[in-house]
Structure 1
């Protein structure tokens, strides 16, 4: 500014969801030690956290919830028209459930043993609208979104995952991406990831060909 004054930004409001009280305490101390961050509260699950927030909405949610508990997180995200960004800490950051979290406005996916500095940098990154991914997850994303190539007639097909078979069966029923997403309770982007993987494994170039090849190789029956 021309008068020499600097703009002072408000601290980023951060909440913590973690099953272990030790983990919650550790993450709380990490947030409170950084003047650029403001700790709003913590809880073992999203429902309990909503009760203690008293209407205050965070900018960033730091969570280590297990995949089967991910529905609880939606409770918090649906309360505000502007969803908080996510920093996910996981023992298995390469699992399929991770990809259902990716369509958030901004997300960081870190191993549970990430260094404190990595967590702080990730909080600031997602608040700025960026995504933070480990090299393994990034490599998987790039592989699944790569254009598929037709396989030779003698080349073996890679087995589809159970979720990919579900998506392929819905393709055979004539469902579109949004309908598949609704039936499986996943995002449109996650459907696209699965379709890209299916096309690549089967060597298909379109949805009709994927269904035909899926039937031919016994992945689905119509």
Structure 2
């Protein structure tokens, strides 16, 4: 979460295609004062680099969908993700993977900048043509909350540490991530389990068979 309305957005740009990264970097560079590009690279490169978490992640999903048997995860950088997609099918994949917003890849710099600011502040942003993707039913449990499959591997690790009663700082130390990133993952776990408190998350997770008390 940003501390002040005038603070620039600390942005991480994730794209497998170096040409796409270059084009997006140039387009966003014109939005000086609102955006601060702090990291740019492939998903594997940025996820393997330890550092302070950005405020928002821009994820270019590319032109082609992955193979049907490949599970896709949104970039795990400790910040909400805005995905750029080629079509509705790619939007469905990105949303299931954990993206908080969806725009088409040909979006202009000004609306893209505005969308990044909104997602960084906890809002969701969808291109009007992708609203049907947003409204599509998500996999849920009988209780109406997210299914276990919607938790990312990192969120499962965080959930296990929550079950041990660890604080955000202790979780960060155990996983060698920043406290900011740990807090982001804890909040994501609470949201996906449909609870407000850490103890409620542990109890619900135990009932779902995700952790053992």
| TM superposition score category, shorter chain reference | 0.5 to 0.7
Residue 8 of structure 2 corresponds to 11
Query: Is contact 1:11–1:38 with CA below 8 Å preserved after alignment?
Result: yes
The alpha-carbon deviation at position 180 of structure 1 amounts to: 8.0
Q: Secondary structure at the match of 2:16?
A: coil
CA distance in 2, matches of 1:93, 1:120: 21
Shift of 1:176: 4.1
Q: Does 1:21 align with 2:15?
A: no
Q: Of residues 41, 44, 68 in structure 2, which corresponds to 1:43?
A: 41
**1:179 Cα deviation (Å)?**
9.8
**Unaligned ranges ≥5, structure 2:** 152-188, 193-213
Which residue matches 2:85?
Answer: 90
Structure 1 residues 100-144: Cα deviation after superposition (integer angstroms, max 9, x where no partner) = 145x6xx220111111222111111111221111223324544x5
Give the TM-score of the pair, scaled to structure 1: 0.52
Q: Which runs of 5+ in 1 are unaligned?
A: 1-6, 78-82, 146-163, 191-222
Q: Provide Cα deviations, 1:12-62, integer angstroms capped at 9, x if missing partner.
A: 100111111111112222333321111111112x2201344x412111111
Checking the alignment, whether the CA contact within 8 Å between 2:56 and 2:80 is kept in structure 1 is yes
Given candidates 22, 39, 54, the residue that maps to 1:58 is 54
Residue 100 of structure 1, aligned match among 92, 96, 104: 96
Is residue 2:130 matched to residue 1:186? no
- What's 1:73 paired with? 74
Q: TM-score, normalised by structure 2?
A: 0.54
Structure ranking higher on relative contact order (CA contacts 8 Å, 6+ apart): 2
- Provide the C-alpha distance between the structure 1 equivalents of 2:80 and 2:16, rounded to a whole number of angstroms: 19
- Equivalent pair of 2:10/2:54 in contact (CA under 8 Å): yes
Contact (CA 8 Å) 1:94, 1:137: kept in 2 or not? no
> RMSD across aligned C-alpha pairs, in angstroms?
3.7
The structure that has the greater radius of gyration is 1
User: Which segments of structure 1 move beyond 3 Å, counting only runs of 4 or more?
Assistant: 66-74, 93-96, 139-142, 175-180, 187-190
